[in-house]
Structure 1
């Protein structure tokens, strides 16, 4: 009996002692300082920062790689992230951070990046960065966003490179810049925060503000993925920040069809030729060049048909619908 009492007492003492539990998966992430290169980068304001220590450690982030001389995918990525930043509001810069890193550091100086940020009206919490070419290549490789054949910021097959993640939890995912801004905002604001309290208020980015879901035509799908990051279609909100490009409602009735088709297929060439209307649009919209989306004739026809049908639908009085 005394022996039993001693065993019970020993058990009670052991239960009262503090114990060290193994780290949870959220705490034991392999994506830490030993994995990411802690390279030095320069911000658009000329400040030196360390990639791991200053930019991503314990943060939820969206990272993409651009160069300011890009005439196709980079402006679309930037415009899409601008929409996401608008949806997230003040949270960008508080618990969510955006980083755009140049892959053409020879030409993209801090001053060049600052002008680029001003053209796109990039807000607080979104930092543009440049650095040494070898360091940036190493960083792209570690993030799984490197593409072979890239030289001095130019590639025959430019990589659409957007990755979002939470360094503290080790959750990272690649994303398409053509993705819906509501879905990207929801992933950054909710999914990636995981165990964190995302906000005192609940924001339903993916449903409350999203367009009504219905099977889209080929033209509508092209507009949503390729055009809507820069253009509205008669649905600009009163007092909203001006879009990067003109509203397209009625454009098929205002512009010559042949001009529109060529503008959609080779805007870079028309600007190089100093087409009068192309130059006027360039001047009106903050000298942001229309990107070449590499659309074919069938895609252009589908897009123009959708713009014409949507114009007809929205301009028809409700009593006649």
Structure 2
């Protein structure tokens, strides 16, 4: 997969499932393929009968060899899973289906799920490629010329819905996790009733973002926090390291290249890159295809956050104390 140009929306996009025949039973067994799939534990299941029938679900398509957006997509959905808590596996179910089933065996998928520390209620699935492609087409998650092209690009949408009520929505995997969690917990549970006045999950107040913060929130925040004000230490964003004060701890040129070319730096066996890779459960930093200007904006935001949260002042105070002690 080579780009992140599809479905960067801030809100869920309602859509009709593509190709629905008028004489088919809407959103029922006559519509959905009952594709045979195998999960990460080697259990065989049918897509309609076992996975979505009568349930509120999230369905997306990934491949574990992806070096850019799939890890980010998985990390973002992991945030949604944590926000929903015990409801995942009882009220809401997550399914990630491989588009590269020849490589993504159940064992490979299980290792991938373990690296991201996903919890109960989330299955990673593989099966026959032609049948999976047919399922993607039926769900409206297959784009001709993209998903069947020579590159490894694929549609970056996911679909969420309640099969029992027939309410389905296409969403961006880079959606704000609080919004997506609220949709799954509230409005999808009964399409005839509005969401409750008290949201299941409350999003924090957000300041008007700079361009660097917008990039950070959409590309980086699935894996990284920026200090305790941004959820450091609560487990929701610990796929990668907390980045508060990182512009002070790391060389600027190294940071810039690491953001733009993490895959190349790992391939070159950069010492610090390898250390971070091992330290954070061997989850590779994805290449998000950011330009030099994009990278500068992200680093500027991180520096501004460090100043706003007093990191530089704290470091200076420690240096002063050390100097006095000597």
For the criterion TM > 0.5, the same-fold answer is yes
Which of 250, 255, 259 is residue 260 of structure 1 equivalent to? 255
Match among 158, 161, 173 for residue 162 of structure 1: 158
The reply to whether residue 76 of structure 1 matches residue 49 of structure 2 is no
Pick closer, same or farther for the CA change 1:163–1:288 going to 2, 3 Å.
same
Per-residue deviation, 1:182? 0.1
**Secondary structure, in 3 states, of the residue corresponding to 2:309?**
helix
The alpha carbon displacement at 1:109 in A equals 0.3
The answer to whether residue 104 in structure 2 is matched with residue 108 in structure 1 is yes
Determine the C-alpha separation between the residues in 2 that align with 1:98 and 1:211: 24
Partner of 2:155, secondary structure, is: coil
Cα 1:44–1:192 change in 2 (3 A) is same
Larger radius of gyration: 1
Separation (CA, whole Å) in 2 of partners of 1:190 and 1:138: 30
The match for 1:297 is: 292
**Structure 1 residues without counterparts, runs of 5 or longer:** 1-27
The worse-fitting range, judged by mean Cα deviation, of 211-220 and 149-158 is 149-158
Quote the residue 2:141 is aligned against. Answer: 145
Whether 1:218 and 2:214 are equivalent positions in the alignment is no
Give TM-score scaled by structure 2 length.
0.83
Deviations 1:94-130 (A, max 9, x none): 0100000000000000000000000000100000000
- Pick which of 85-94 and 170-179 moved more: 170-179
- The equivalent position to 2:33 in structure 1, one of 37, 58, 76, is 37
- Which range is displaced more, 84-93 or 145-154? 145-154
Q: C-alpha distance in 2, partners of 1:302/1:241?
A: 24
> Could you state the TM-score of these two structures normalised by the residue count of structure 1?
0.84
SS of residue matched to 2:247: helix
Residues 147, 155 of structure 2: 8 Å contact kept: no
Aligned to 2:17: none
Count of matched residue pairs: 288
How much is the aligned-residue C-alpha RMSD, in angstroms?
Answer: 2.5
Change (3 A) 1:112 1:126: same
Tell me how far 1:240 sits from its aligned partner: 3.5
Whether 2:175 is the aligned partner of 1:175: answer: no
Unaligned runs of 5+ residues in structure 2 are 1-23, 315-326
Q: d(CA) in 1 for partners of 2:191 and 2:169?
A: 17
Partner Cα separation in structure 2 for residue 69 and residue 153 of structure 1: 17
SS at match of 1:190: helix
Q: Does 1:308 align with 2:303?
A: yes
Counterpart among 122, 129, 132 of residue 128 in structure 2? 132
Separation in 2, partners of 1:239, 1:213: 18
Could you say if the C-alpha distance between residues 100 and 154 of structure 1 is closer, same or farther in structure 2, counting changes exceeding 3 Å? Answer: farther
The equivalences for 1:58-97 within 5 A come to 58-97=54-93
User: Which stretch of structure 1 is more off in the superposition, 264-273 or 237-246?
Assistant: 237-246
Counterparts in 2 of 1:146 and 1:214: CA distance versus 1, 3 Å: same
Contact persistence 1:39–1:135 (CA under 8 A): yes
1:16 alignment partner in structure 2: none
Please tell me whether the aligned partners of residues 84 and 181 of structure 1 are also in contact (alpha carbons under 8 angstroms): yes
Q: Which has the higher contact order (CA 8 A, sep 6+)?
A: 2
Specify which of 274, 282, 306 is matched with residue 279 of structure 1: 274
In the aligned structure 1, how far is the partner of 2:100 from the partner of 2:146?
A: 10
Cα distance in 1 for residues equivalent to 2:150 and 2:287: 15
Change beyond 3 A, Cα 1:86–1:137: same
Alignment correspondent of 2:21: none
2:200 corresponds to: 204
Q: CA deviation at 1:179?
A: 0.9
Deviation (angstroms), 1:194: 1.6
1:123-174 CA distances to partner (integer Å, 9 max, x unpaired)? 0000000000011001000000013356899735332131101111111111
